[in-house]
Amino acid sequence: MSDELKKGLEGVLVAESDLSYIDGDEGRLVYRGYTIEDLAREASYEEVLYLLWHGELPTESELETFASAMAEERAVDDAVLETVRDLAEADEVPMAALRTAVSELSAFDDAADGEDPTDREANLAKGKRITAKIPTVIAAFTRIRDGAEPVAPREDLSHAANFLYMLNGEEPDDVMEDVFDQALVLHADHGLNASTFSAMVTSSTLADLHSAVTSAVGTLGGSLHGGANQNVMEMLKEVDESAKDPVQWVTDALDNGKRVAGFGHRVYNVKDPRAKILSEQSEELGEAAGDTKWYEMSVAIEEYMAEEKGLAPNVDFYSATTYYQMGIPIDIYTPIFAMSRVGGWIAHVLEQYEDNRLIRPRARYVGPTDQTFTPIDER
Ligand SMILES: CC(=O)SCCNC(=O)CCNC(=O)[C@H](O)C(C)(C)COP(=O)(O)OP(=O)(O)OC[C@H]1O[C@@H](n2cnc3c(N)ncnc32)[C@H](O)[C@@H]1OP(=O)(O)O
Ligand SMILES: O=C([O-])CC(=O)C(=O)O
């Protein structure tokens, strides 16, 4: 047994996986051998889900069956909607509301209590239900919080278009649907990132899929992980409102010991390939709207961070301005990340169950070992 301490588990191999491969020096990401560039351009989110869960790209009829079965599962039980309403009216943080709702979804899931938690077919069906319902929860929460009534899901729209329809009460145009669908594809999986690992740890105890996804939602929300996309946009708005030069603003932030959201990564030593694609989306949306202010501000910060800190943008840096220019409320950027990443979480949980061993690392104990106990009335 090695006593070498790897803080943050950096570089530690804990599993074999054939889901996604990251080359952190080359800035390359593939899902099951397909480059993220090809998938973002050519495949829908539903197609990528099928690829992750079933191991290969679907044929047209497989995709049609898969996507329509998932679309049929979009509605959530009234009791869950009531919880979502209560949480929205109580001004709950969106990621906390999503975590609570995902947990409650299990109470209304068809899966019989006591079934084998590792049953692959049951989990694929359950995974489809969870993935289908998460967008409904996020859209309903957002609308109620903003003083509107939820919009019921439609089965005839794609996963991406249906979410934007439920959020805005109107169908998105083709450009918005495509940009959003690409964002979902780009966020679907990323090796053993923290939230995925959290889902794996939970499932390694033979806890059920809803528990694993609930753990993962909780883990994604932190500012060092998925929560960074919201922080990026809040930072850019602060820069804008400060009327300072963006580079000066960032210099001051770094001088004050702050981290710049959307930069740095545990695995990438170069620009995240997803950030490359999203920066193009961000620029195109700005150009279409006749205002590239957010894109230009982001590029100025990117150049400065590269020169001064040797840090490159991660996926969260350009998703922020992409979503902002689509009119999406800033505090649901991380729930949207979850809406995509749930596909990866489920795929990794399926892998975990296939070849399970309890995940249980050790800490090096550095406390005392020979204290003399003092009874409470003598302390
Ligand atoms: C989807 C995702 O989860 S992508 C990541 C989203 N998170 C963010 O964007 C938050 C900002 N980024 C960070 O905090 C980090 O880069 C992380 C958490 C992503 C990676 O963390 P780690 O791999 O543990 O790197 P670590 O925190 O040790 O940082 C290494 C060095 O780079 C610096 N650094 C890393 N990221 C940043 C940043 N965004 N701003 C300023 N400095 C940074 C650290 O201060 C540290 O410097 P030091 O060695 O002089 O102390
Ligand atoms: O891989 C990571 O550590 C974080 C990340 O980029 C992701 O989860 O998409």
> What is the per-residue DSSP string for 92-104?
--HHHHHHHHHHH
Closest-lying ligand 2 atom to the alpha carbon of residue 22: 1
State the ligand closest to the CA atom of 304: 1
Q: Which of 26-35, 102-111, 229-238 has the lowest mean pLDDT?
A: 102-111
Quick check: pTM over 0.95? yes
Percentage of the residues of the chain whose pLDDT score is greater than 90: 97
HEC readout, 315-344: HHHHHHHHHHHCCCCHHHHHHHHHHHHHHH
Query: Would you list the domain boundaries of the chain?
Result: 34-225+331-354, 228-325
pLDDT 10s digits, 15-72:
999 999 999 999 999 999 999 999 999 999 999 999 999 999 999 999 999 999 999 9
DSSP 8-state symbol, 146: T
Backbone CA torsion sign across 370, 373, 374, 376: positive
Closest-lying ligand 1 atom to the alpha carbon of residue 259: 40
The CA 11 to ligand 1 mean position distance, Å, reads 15
Confirm whether the ipTM is greater than 0.95. Answer: yes
For ligand 2, say whether the CB of 222 is within 6 Å of any of its atoms.
Answer: no
By DSSP bridging, strand 20-23 and strand 34-35 are unpaired
The whole-number pLDDT of residue 122 equals 95
How many angstroms separate the CA atoms of 139 and 167, rounded?
5
The whole-number pLDDT of residue 35 equals 98
Closest-lying ligand 2 atom to the alpha carbon of residue 266: 3
For ligand 2, say whether the CB of 314 is within 6 Å of any of its atoms.
Answer: yes
State the ligand closest to the CA atom of 193: 2
Angle at 222 between CA 219 and CA 223, to 5 degrees: 150
State the ligand closest to the CA atom of 311: 1
**114 pLDDT band (50/70/90 cuts)?**
low
**243 pLDDT band (50/70/90 cuts)?**
confident
Positions marked catalytic: 265, 316
Topology of the domain comprising 34-225+331-354: Citrate Synthase; domain 1 (1.10.580)
Atom 15 of ligand 1: nearest residue by CA position: 264
Structure tokens at 133: 């319902």
CATH code for the part of the protein at 228-325: 1.10.230.10
User: Above 60 in pLDDT, residue 313?
Assistant: yes
The whole-number pLDDT of residue 347 equals 98
Atom 4 of ligand 2: nearest residue by CA position: 193
User: Above 70 in pLDDT, residue 176?
Assistant: yes
Mutate to test the pocket of ligand 1, among 187, 259, 301, 308 (most ligand atoms within 8 A of CB): 259
